[in-house]
Amino acid sequence: MDSVLNYFNGEKIQCLIGLVISIAFIITSAYFLSTQKALLNGMAYSILPLAILLSIICIGVIVRVPKDIERVTTYYKEESVKLHTEELPRMEKVMKNFSIIKKIEIGVFLVGLVLVFMFWGNGLIKGVALGLIIQGIILFLFDYVAESRGVIYINFLKS
């Protein structure tokens, strides 16, 4: 039972942290846009949409966690077979999605890296590229931590 609470509360805490980081990035991007400096504007153009997306995802997880805890706790106490027939397949799908998402995040990072070197003299594009690099790294680390927690939870579900 502790494994269920640890997993979902870990998701909630991580998403609260992610939401705070996203809000900080949104505020920073708004400031960058007000500076009228090409490099900072470019960073804002790439950071802002990804920060908004992360904040939406985090809010969704934060809202969903209590329902998830209730659902899986009911499975655990009353319908343990559903841990294997419903929760485990759901988590296996989540883990498969992490694999895809992390590849996309690596791609975002690599695109940013290539753009930095290709357009070193163009402040706007270099800013976009730096924003992609920063977001690619942060999102990858964010999902790596969540995936690691998911592995522990899946091992619990399989036991």
pLDDT surpassing 90 at residue 26: yes
Number of folded domains that form the chain: 1
The pLDDT-based confidence of 148 (bands split at 50, 70, 90) is: very high
pTM, two decimal places:
0.89
User: Mapping DSSP to helix (H, G, I), strand (E, B) and coil, where does residue 79 land?
Assistant: coil
Residues 6+ apart with CB under 8 A from 32: 40, 41, 43, 44, 47
**Other beta carbons within 10 Å of 143:** 19
Task: Give percent above pLDDT 70 in the chain.
Answer: 100
pLDDT at 100 over 80: yes
Mean pLDDT of 59-86: 94
Q: How confident is the model at residue 159 (pLDDT cuts 50, 70, 90)?
A: confident
Burial class (CB in 10 A: 0-12, 13-18, 19+), 81: exposed
User: Averaged over 73-79, what is the pLDDT?
Assistant: 92
pLDDT 10s digits, 123-142: 999 999 999 999 999 999 99
Domain that holds residue 13: 2-158
pLDDT-based confidence at residue 61 (cuts at 50, 70, 90): very high
